[in-house]
Amino acid sequence: MRADATRNREAILRAAEDLLAAHGAEHVSLDRVAAAAGVGKGTVFRRFGSRTGLFQELLAERAEALARAVGTAGSPLGPGAPPRARLLAFLDELAGLAERNLALFAAHERACAEDKYADPTYVRWHGHVAALVGEARPGLDASFAAHALLGLFDADLVGHVIAEGGVTRLRSSVRGFAEALLG
């Protein structure tokens, strides 16, 4: 990749972030992103393929730290921890991530509406959660339960809960729900 291409790529990602933060997820069109990045529209599409691709990449970037934490032993998130605690810790992290990136979650959701199960980040999360559910609560349809648990971070729901009680409420509601489910 040419140096200017790398620079533009970064500029586009940062512009998308800024627009998401400034206006809602609804008002971030690719024309706007391109303009804000000081770049032609074609460049956005060449780099990211589509609106979907852009937001997938952005989410992947924001989810990277979590993915690393999940992979490294030592924390309650990492391998070695008991499945139930590991799952609860993961969901708690996800709650934080969703709160900090609410607009991005919303935009990502909209963009991936067709075939959300094709999103790499979602797939990774789902695999992780399903595996832990399978260990922590055998007998359940683990894949189904994992989709349901990830559904807790639907942007509308998160926004609604946060509007009423902030992240604290979200975290405790999620935890309460998961604990009830896991028995």
Interface pick for a copy of itself out of 16, 20, 59, 161 (rule CB under 8 A): 161
Q: Which 116-145 residues touch a copy of itself, going by CB under 8 A?
A: 116-117, 137, 139-141, 144-145
Say how far apart CA 65 and CA 71 lie, in whole Å.
10
Q: Does 4 bind DNA (CB under 7 A)?
A: yes
Q: Does 138 bind DNA (CB under 7 A)?
A: no
Residue type, 11: A
Q: Which 13-32 residues touch a copy of itself, going by CB under 8 A?
A: 26
Q: Pick between residue 21 and residue 85 the one whose CB is nearest to DNA.
A: 21
**In sequence order, which residues have a C-beta less than 8 Å from that of residue 88 and are 6 or more positions away?**
175, 178, 179
Q: Which 28-47 residues touch DNA, going by CB under 7 A?
A: 29-32, 38-43, 45-47
Q: Does 50 bind DNA (CB under 7 A)?
A: yes
Angle CA(60)–CA(63)–CA(64) in degrees, nearest 5? 85
**In sequence order, which residues have a C-beta less than 8 Å from that of residue 104 and are 6 or more positions away?**
17, 20, 25, 55, 58, 59, 62
User: Minimum distance from CB of 20 to DNA (Å)?
Assistant: 12
Q: Does 180 bind DNA (CB under 7 A)?
A: no
Mark residue 164 as left, alpha or beta (left: phi above 0; alpha: psi -120 to 50; beta: remaining).
Answer: alpha
Q: Pick between residue 13 and residue 146 the one whose CB is nearest to a copy of itself.
A: 146
Instruction: Name the burial class of residue 174, with classes exposed (0-12), middle (13-18) and buried (19+) by CB atoms within 10 angstroms of its CB.
Output: buried
Which of a copy of itself, DNA, none binds 73 (CB below 5-8 Å, type-dependent)?
Answer: none
**In sequence order, which residues have a C-beta less than 8 Å from that of residue 61 and are 6 or more positions away?**
13
Binding site for a copy of itself (CB under 8 A): 26, 110, 113-117, 137, 139-141, 144-145, 147-148, 151-152, 154, 156-157, 160-161, 169, 172-174, 176-177, 180-183
